[in-house]
Amino acid sequence: MQDVTKIVLSIVPLLFAIILHEVSHGWVAEKLGDPTARMMGRITLNPISHIDPIGTILVPGILLLTGSHFLFGWAKPVPVNFGNLRGGRRDMALVAFSGPLSNFLLAVLSAIIFHLTFGGIAGSAGIFDRIIVPIHMMAQLSVLFNLVLMILNLLPIVPLDGGRIVVGLAPEHIAISMARMERYGMLIVLLLLASGMLSYIVNPFIIIFWRILM
């Protein structure tokens, strides 16, 4: 029963973390000159517009059901026409950075909610207990999910945001070499996940931010 409760309480913070990440890309791209995401109706918090059957449902679901200590997922990428960005590669880096930044800010907000509701748990009763305890638990899970998404997406692997940041800021010959690796990027990430190496790479950074916030 506890596992079912945890899965149910995980859905909202996980969806919100993934969707806000993608919306941030589209919103910043629009501010920098590219209206593609707005024109395609993707700058919205409506989950139907962002759900990817594999990345938003299947992968997180399998990880939750198998009791994995590492949980992540993704939504349908928000379309960005980098050719429309006024600042060229620099703006591409800003668009990429906006996703992890949104997750960091959401993690901070969730941590504040977690601490504000902590005192209410001990003294809550009845209907307050039914409200405060789930909010407290979702805030805790939200911090974790957002830290995972932030750190994972900052890995310097294209098409992850970290890879696009490097492509946007690195000298042109390095940027071209990295861009050519994009077709293999998600395969590399999935291989790292399957081998267990991904946890060893990102967990130390997650632990640092977790200790700071929690």
- What single-letter amino acid sits at 73? G
Residue 150 has, within 13 A of its CA and on its CB side, a CA count of: 22
The string of DSSP letters for 73-124 reads ---PPPP--GGG-TTTHHHHHHHHHHHHHHHHHHHHHHHHHHHHHHHHHHH-
Grade residue 70 by pLDDT with cuts at 50, 70 and 90: low
| Structure confidence at residue 156 (pLDDT) | 92
Q: Which of 18-27, 56-65, 82-91, 185-194 has the lowest mean pLDDT?
A: 56-65
pLDDT tens, position by position, 153-212: 999 999 899 999 999 998 988 888 888 888 888 888 888 878 888 888 999 999 999 999
Average pLDDT over residues 19-33: 94
The verdict on pTM exceeding 0.75 is yes
For residue range 76-105, list pLDDT tens digits in order. 888 889 889 998 889 999 999 999 999 999
In the residue annotation, 172 being an active-site residue is answered as no
Q: Which residue has the higher pLDDT, 208 or 47?
A: 208
Q: At what angle do helices 197-213 and 182-195 cross, to 10 degrees?
A: 80
CB 75 within 8 A of CB 50: yes
pLDDT in tens, 133-147: 888 889 999 999 999
CB burial readout 136-146, b (16+ within 10 A) else e:
bbbbbbbbbbb
Residue 26 contacts residue 43 (beta carbons within 8 Å): yes
User: How does residue 213 score in pLDDT terms, banded at 50, 70 and 90?
Assistant: very high
| Structure token pair of residue 5 | 């409760």
- % of the chain residues with pLDDT over 70: 89
Q: Which of 22, 30, 172, 182 is catalytic?
A: 22
Name the DSSP class of 40: T
Tell me, what's the pLDDT at 1? 45
Q: How far apart are CA 135 and CA 131, in angstroms?
A: 6
**CA-derived radius of gyration, the chain:** 18
